[in-house]
Amino acid sequence: MTTLKAGDKAPDFSLSSSAGMPVRLSQFLGTNIVIFFYPMDESPVCSKEAEAFRDRYESFKELEAEVIGISSQAVDSHKSFAKRHRLPFILLSDPDNKVRKLFGIASTLGVVPGRATFVINKEGIIELVYSSQWRPTKHAKEALHALKIQSTSGPIIQME
């Protein structure tokens, strides 16, 4: 499994959303995209991460960024998670972890799905990869920071 890094082209994929509709990454070309992969709906740590993206959502929109959360839970689980935590962004279901593997996100201790965030520019190029299983709220902060500086600095160094 090869982990994608800053400067790589983001691979296209299609997954079902919490609204029950298929979503394709390529449909967002022309806008900035922030994808965060998280282990599971409703865990305390994952809830904090999703809420951090929610609380900064307007700032992401101001920077012309679409926020997308991905985990392996079913569409119904995502619907409930989004409603309970008032999440305004798209949640996608990756039941077989195919997209997680496509992006090269390793599991922690071989069992817990990895937590990683990718900032993708309007041309589909990855600007930032931030991976930290134990600092969930920092993902939104790092993604926002990358979006603010991407237009002047080019790809951001991968952080772990």
Residues annotated catalytic, as ranges: 46
Q: At which residue do the structure tokens 């798209």 appear?
A: 90
Tell me the C-alpha to C-alpha distance, in Å, between residue 67 and each of 32, 54, 70.
Answer: 9, 9, 10
Q: How far apart are CA 116 and CA 8, in angstroms?
A: 15
Instruction: Tell me which DSSP letter residue 31 carries.
Output: S
Q: How far apart are CA 131 and CA 160, in angstroms?
A: 5
